[in-house]
Amino acid sequence: MAGMRVAELAAQCLRIRAAALAAFGQTEHEDRQLWDDVMTVPARAWELFLETEQYVAPLVGRLQHAGVLGSMPVDVASVLEKRRRHETVRALRARAQLTEIGAAAQERGWSVIVLKGGRAVLEDTSAACPLFDLDLLLPPEHLTEFVAWLDSRRSSVAATPSTHHLETRYVDGALPVEVHRTIYPDGGAVPDHVWTGAVRLPDGLLGLSPVEHTWHILHHATVSHVGRRGRLRDLELISQGLQTCSASERGALQERTVVAGYADSLSGFLRMAEEATAGESVEDRFELMAFTRYVTYCTIRQSGWHRPTARALAEWVFAMQAGREERERVWQRGADRRSPRPIVRAVIGKVDRVSPRLGGFLERSTRRIYRVVLGLLAWSAALWIRWAKRHATTRDFS
């Protein structure tokens, strides 16, 4: 019963999502009618929608343009205003942080490229999408000095480094900073044309060229984070990037989606952004993934589960919904993943010190068991979500 209540809440979120996507291609009169249709959606659903889609400032702007913001139910208007204020404060904080970094870069001659959402904050703070950290790309010759400067700002280091960025730096009263060695998840070197094609941004900072910037966000939100496919925050950022691309650059982006792997997902998300940029109603090519996000957030992230386990399970559920290619990738990646439970690792470590052979056997066995259990749980959850979506979305909530 509780599961169906979550599914019904997720179905309400899909109604808001459908209105937001359709609003790209509506006249002002049609736009108002469109939003009138979701006036009965409860505040709980709006909270879930905003939390998962990370789509606040653009949504409030569209509601204002349609002339319906003042007519929203009081509790819904309160949710929107609270989120808008929160994100505005965060964007202003990020803007001040980037200004400080830019001043240091100009003084010391660093080349600092601002990636993804941070660039949107630099270009238009008022319309920026939610931002949780700053992603910065620096050439190898500037990395050490820049990190030393960051650490001198009383930053603390957390999380392990990845193939493409250093450990995350946390600074009191500021957004976390991820210093990237490269923009490629596999750790490949940044080619010279990326540096020579960089464009100037405010405060002495740099940005990727329009086509590289747009591709980076598209690939990141589609391949690096499967659960974000079709998310409205990323759709907004990709659409903003497309607006700065020439016709030939847009053609180059379309060609990349064909040869880069995950062609259907990449081209589908890019097509949604093209429709949004052209002022057309956007066809939702990731409705199932969006529904899965809503259900997953309610049932896994807020369940009190061990956080690494919950995150891993969510990743597997998204993979099950994404198709065979992604299922195979997450299965192979799971072969190298250790149990996130500290107590399990501690026991294996003690056994390994006594008998390395037995310790190795236990390590391999727990990895296999962990992968099989996660796979079975995720497959069951994915099947239930598909069933729940069919039933919940056919109900009349008006």
Q: Which two tokens stand for residue 24?
A: 């790209």
Buried b (16+ CB within 10 A) or exposed e, 164-203: bbbebbbbeebbbbbbbbbbbeeeeebeeebeeebeebeb
- Residue 148 inside a domain? The answer is no
- Residue 5 inside a domain? The answer is no
- Residue 350 inside a domain? The answer is yes
- Residue 259 inside a domain? The answer is no
225: Cβ contacts below 8 Å, ≥ 6 apart: none
33: Cβ contacts below 8 Å, ≥ 6 apart: none
- Residue 336 inside a domain? The answer is yes
Instruction: Say what the pLDDT of residue 161 is.
Output: 67
- Residue 270 inside a domain? The answer is no
- Residue 313 inside a domain? The answer is yes
- Asked whether 75 and 43 are in contact (CB, 8 A), the reply is yes
Identity of the residue numbered 151: D
Judged on CB neighbours under 10 Å (0-12, 13-18, 19+), 126 is exposed
Q: Phi first, then psi: what are they for 200, rounded to 5°?
A: -80, 135
Instruction: Say what the pLDDT of residue 17 is.
Output: 95
Identity of the residue numbered 140: P
- Residue 126 inside a domain? The answer is no
R_g over Cα of the chain = 22
Q: Give the pTM.
A: 0.88
Helix or strand run (H / E) with residue 137: strand 134-137
What is the C-alpha separation between 358 and 225, in angstroms, rounded? Answer: 36
What is the number of other CB atoms lying within 10 angstroms of the CB of residue 2?
8
Q: DSSP secondary-structure letter at 138?
A: -
Q: Phi first, then psi: what are they for 41, rounded to 5°?
A: -70, 130
Q: What is the mean pLDDT of each run of 10 residues along the chain (398 residues)?
A: 82 94 70 82 95 90 86 93 90 92 95 94 75 92 92 71 79 86 89 94 95 96 92 94 94 91 92 92 94 90 68 88 84 61 67 75 76 87 93 66
Domain with 388, as residue range(s), is 294-392
287: Cβ contacts below 8 Å, ≥ 6 apart: 14, 17, 230
Number of domains in the chain: 1
Instruction: Say what the pLDDT of residue 170 is.
Output: 83
